[in-house]
Amino acid sequence: MAEILIEGVSKVFADGTEAVHEVDLQIPDGKLMVLVGPSGCGKTTVLRMVAGLEDLTGGRIVIDGRVVNEVPPGERDVAMVFQNYALYPHMTVYQNMALSLKIRKLKKEEMNRRVEEAARVLHLEDLLGKRPRELSGGQRQRVAMGRAIVREPQAFLMDEPLSNLDAKLRVQMRAEILRIQQDLGVTTIYVTHDQTEAMTLGDLVAVMKKGFLQQVADPQELFAHPVNLFVAGFIGSPAMNVVEATLSGTDDGMFAEFGGHRLAVPDEVVAERPALASYRGGTVILGIRPEAMEDAALVSAPGPDSRFPVTVDLREDMGSDVYLHFTVEAPPVYTEDTKELAADVDEKALEELHAQATERRSAFTARTSPETRARVGGAMEIWVDTRKLYFFDPESGESIYGEREPASSGAAASVTSA
List interacting residues with another protein (CB under 8 A). 48, 51-53, 72-75, 78-80, 82-84, 86-90, 99-100, 103-104, 147, 151, 157
Least Å distance, CB 214 to another protein, is 27
Radius of gyration, CA atoms only, the chain: 24
Least Å distance, CB 389 to another protein, is 30
Residue 12 CB burial class (10 angstroms; 0-12, 13-18, ≥19): middle
Instruction: Count H helices and E strands in the chain, helices first.
Output: 11, 20
Q: Which is nearer to another protein, 103 or 301 (CB)?
A: 103
How far, in Å, CA of 264 to CA of 383, rounded?
12
Q: Which is nearer to another protein, 85 or 392 (CB)?
A: 85
Q: Which is nearer to another protein, 5 or 91 (CB)?
A: 91
Nearest residue to 80 (alpha-carbon basis) of 111, 54, 108, 112: 54
- Report the DSSP pairing between strands 187-192 and 32-36: parallel
Least Å distance, CB 348 to another protein, is 13
Least Å distance, CB 104 to another protein, is 6
Q: Which is nearer to another protein, 90 or 123 (CB)?
A: 90
Least Å distance, CB 106 to another protein, is 11
Least Å distance, CB 90 to another protein, is 5
Q: Which is nearer to another protein, 55 or 272 (CB)?
A: 55
Least Å distance, CB 259 to another protein, is 26
Least Å distance, CB 321 to another protein, is 17
Q: Which is nearer to another protein, 323 or 334 (CB)?
A: 323
Name residue 336's amino acid. Answer: E
Q: What is the DSSP string of 85-124?
A: ----TTS-HHHHHHHHHHHTT--HHHHHHHHHHHHHHTT-
DSSP alpha helix (H) spans, 294-373? 336-345, 347-359
Element (H, E) at 230: helix 229-234
How far, in Å, CA of 265 to CA of 303, rounded?
11
Kindly tell me the sign of the dihedral angle through the C-alpha atoms of 395, 218, 320, 343: positive
Q: Which is nearer to another protein, 157 or 240 (CB)?
A: 157
Q: Which is nearer to another protein, 147 or 367 (CB)?
A: 147
Least Å distance, CB 292 to another protein, is 25
Q: Which is nearer to another protein, 26 or 83 (CB)?
A: 83
Q: Which is nearer to another protein, 155 or 177 (CB)?
A: 155
SS3 content of the chain, % helix, strand, coil (to 5): 35, 30, 35
How far, in Å, CA of 228 to CA of 221, rounded?
13
Residue pair 400/385 in contact (Cβ under 8 Å)? The answer is no
Q: Which is nearer to another protein, 157 or 180 (CB)?
A: 157
Residue 376 CB burial class (10 angstroms; 0-12, 13-18, ≥19): exposed
Upstream peptide bond of 161 is cis (omega within 30 degrees of 0): no
Least Å distance, CB 99 to another protein, is 6
Least Å distance, CB 323 to another protein, is 12
Residue pair 230/340 in contact (Cβ under 8 Å)? The answer is yes
Q: What is the DSSP string of 257-288?
A: EETTEEEEE-HHHHHH-GGGGGGTTSEEEEEE
Q: Which residues contact 272 (CB under 8 A, 6 or more apart)?
A: 401
